[in-house]
Amino acid sequence: MPELPEVEIFKRRLDATCLGRTITGVSIRDRRIIGKSSPARLVAKLKGALLRATRRHGKYLLVALDKGGWLVMHFGMNGSLQHFGRDDEDPPYDRLRLDFGDDHHLAYVNPRLLGRVELVADADAFVAKEKLGPDVLDAGLGLAEFAQAVAARKRDIKSVLMDQAVVAGIGNIYSDEILFQARLDPHSRADRLDRGDLKRLFNKTKSVLRTAIRRGSGSEQMLERLPRGFIIRERKKGGRCPRCGGAVAAIKFSGRTSYYCPRCQPAPR
């Protein structure tokens, strides 16, 4: 599932290719992706609009239109944003295609249709309505606010990191990496972490996500670009801990498999 690093990469791709440009054509190739919105309204709002600014909040990408309003994209399980030129074939599973005058296109691709695209009037109101916590890479999110939000939850730290209402952007894959680097057992209760744990968790959260973005790694693709010390590369059967060489353990959390090193991430006291 695309997590913060991938969505940030999509944002940068859009910024580099389509920002400041005007949409000349819109094709909704599968209307299920726009939920209850009317296709005619979506096309009317998008056609002729210039992409004025972009913003990422957690796993959402929001695009401001000069005519007013925002186009919001969520990528679900395996969605992506692809840019292609006149001579390229449309990518498979493109559900919405935006055309730009000088013969290039932006495609919202989503094989499993588990994401969505919608128009909203205001970005801040959307974030509030979705009950999203602060974006975890927001420069304004400091240790004190992070620690307070995390420690207020009386449940395991793995689930708390993935709870978009606490902080937005982290999913199953990157929470494994953050906990590995912070040397915390995923079962540790969030409200029982001490100040040192919380500080380490905060620092590793920021550094892991920034490293992934810098290297152009997602949550399932381009993992080989991540540093060798990352456990994400060993999230598989027979995986070895990059720190101690021990076997990586797989456990289930809310139906999803999580990987960690029981030696380097000892059980809470």
Task: Summarize as ranges the residues that interact with Zn ion (CB under 5 A).
Answer: 241, 243-244, 246, 261, 263-264
**Of 3, 6, 8, 177, which one is the catalytic site residue?**
3
Tokens 């999580």 map to which residue? 258
| Residue 96: alpha-carbon gap to chain centroid | 20
Rounded to the nearest whole angstrom, what is the least distance from the CB of residue 244 to Zn ion in the complex?
A: 3
Closest of 199, 187, 197, 203 to residue 252, by C-alpha: 187
- DSSP letters of 26-69? EEES-GGGGTTS-HHHHHHHHTT-BEEEEEEETTEEEEEETTSS
CA–CA separation, 42 vs 88, rounded Å?
A: 25
> Catalytic: which of 11, 59, 158, 235?
59
Asked if 3 is an active-site residue, the reply is: yes
Encoded amino acid at 232, one letter: I
Output 144 or 244, the one with its CB closest to Zn ion: 244
Residue (150 or 241) nearer to Zn ion, CB: 241
Q: Active-site residue among 2, 5, 186, 242?
A: 2
Q: Work out how close the CB of 187 gets to Zn ion at its nearest, in angstroms, rounded to a whole number.
A: 16
Give me the least distance between CB of 233 and Zn ion, in Å please.
14
Nearer to Zn ion, 134 or 186 (CB): 186
Least Å distance, CB 217 to Zn ion, is: 21
Catalytic residue among 21, 183, 189, 256: 256
Nearer to Zn ion, 128 or 244 (CB): 244
Place of tokens 């720190």: 243
Q: Which is nearer to Zn ion, 97 or 233 (CB)?
A: 233
Strands of the sheet containing 51-57, edge to edge, are 51-57, 60-65, 70-74, 116-120
Tokens of 81: 């944003």
Provide, rounded to whole angstroms, the least separation between the CB of residue 223 and Zn ion.
18
Residue nearest to Zn ion (CB): 241
Q: Is 256 a catalytic residue?
A: yes
Q: Which two tokens stand for residue 55?
A: 């913003």
Q: What is the distance between the alpha carbons of residues 82 and 17, in angstroms, rounded to a whole number?
A: 10
- Would you call 171 helix, strand, or coil by DSSP? coil
For Zn ion, give the closer residue by CB, 164 or 265: 265
* Number of Cβ within a 10 Å radius of residue 53: 14
Structure token digits, residue 175? 């929470």
State how far the Cα of 233 lies from the Cα of 223, in Å rounded to an integer.
6
**Is 59 a known active-site residue?**
yes
Smallest gap, in angstroms, from Cβ of residue 240 to Zn ion?
Answer: 8
| Residue 262 annotated as catalytic | no
Q: State the catalytic residues.
A: 2-3, 59, 256
